[in-house]
Amino acid sequence: MRISALVSTVFFAATTGVSTMQAQDLGGAVVPVYSKMVGESLPLLMTATAVLMEARGSKDEAAALRAQAEDMKKGVSKPDKDLLERSMKATSESNNKFVASLGGEAKALTAEQRTMFVAGAVAYFAAVKSSREVAQMLPPVTTAIADVTKKGPLAIARAGKDLVLAKAVAQGIPELIKGNVQAAEALKNYIVANKIPVDASAIVF
């Protein structure tokens, strides 16, 4: 461990009333989950949605989604509850808009648009699968939260933003993943109903 990281961990432990090992456990549990979701899974999902929207002719919406994806990736170096919540809200809204756009008959697509749609769909399912993998990383977060909160109100108050972020991760991400999977199911149904040539092996989430 680098000296700066060690000093930070010891300072956290001293000011929260938890052991150095517990302080490491909280950060060590939360940061990887946050980083994978905000730095990898959500940007992938937003970018894939942008491709799908552009294939259907919504260029302005696609550009906005790409910009949001870039903003998410910039926030990985400094984990932040507000950014996490904004990122999850933006992803949820884009999911809802995209699912709504799938209603009715399939729009006639040019050969280029059709190719783009297939590429976007494959990327979308991969991104949803990536977000689901985050769920496997959550149990240590809940354990770390328990290690701090069992110390009582004073330890909770002193843990401050670290504990707030941990709770946001543990409570918000599962709900977002559920929405991602529902959107993927809607996309799958649309692909099947409209006989869009997406390799079945790619529709895994």
Choose the most confident range, by mean pLDDT, from 69-83, 92-106, 118-132: 118-132
| Spacing of C-alpha 200 from chain mean position | 24
**Residue 24, pLDDT score:** 53
**Residue 107, pLDDT score:** 63
**Residue 33, pLDDT score:** 95
SS3 187: helix
For residues 141 and 130, give the distance between their C-alpha atoms in angstroms, rounded to a whole number: 18
Helices (H), 17-135: 20-36, 42-55, 59-74, 81-101, 111-135
| Spacing of C-alpha 165 from chain mean position | 14
pLDDT confidence band for 102 (50 / 70 / 90) = confident
Structural contact between residues 173 and 33, judged by C-beta atoms closer than 8 angstroms = yes
Joined together, the tokens standing for residue 52 give 């799908």
Structural contact between residues 184 and 123, judged by C-beta atoms closer than 8 angstroms = no
Structural contact between residues 78 and 29, judged by C-beta atoms closer than 8 angstroms = no
Mean pLDDT of 132-155: 91
Structural contact between residues 169 and 82, judged by C-beta atoms closer than 8 angstroms = no
pLDDT above 90 for 37: yes
pLDDT confidence band for 16 (50 / 70 / 90) = very low
For residues 20 and 6, give the distance between their C-alpha atoms in angstroms, rounded to a whole number: 9
Joined together, the tokens standing for residue 137 give 């990383």
pLDDT confidence band for 8 (50 / 70 / 90) = very low
Q: What is the pLDDT of residues 123-137, one digit of tens each?
A: 999 999 999 999 999
For residues 83 and 89, give the distance between their C-alpha atoms in angstroms, rounded to a whole number: 10
pLDDT above 60 for 92: yes
Q: Classify domain 3-202 at the CATH topology level.
A: Ferritin (1.20.1260)
User: What pTM value is reported for the model?
Assistant: 0.82
Query: Residue 89: how many CA atoms within 13 Å on its side-chain side?
Result: 7
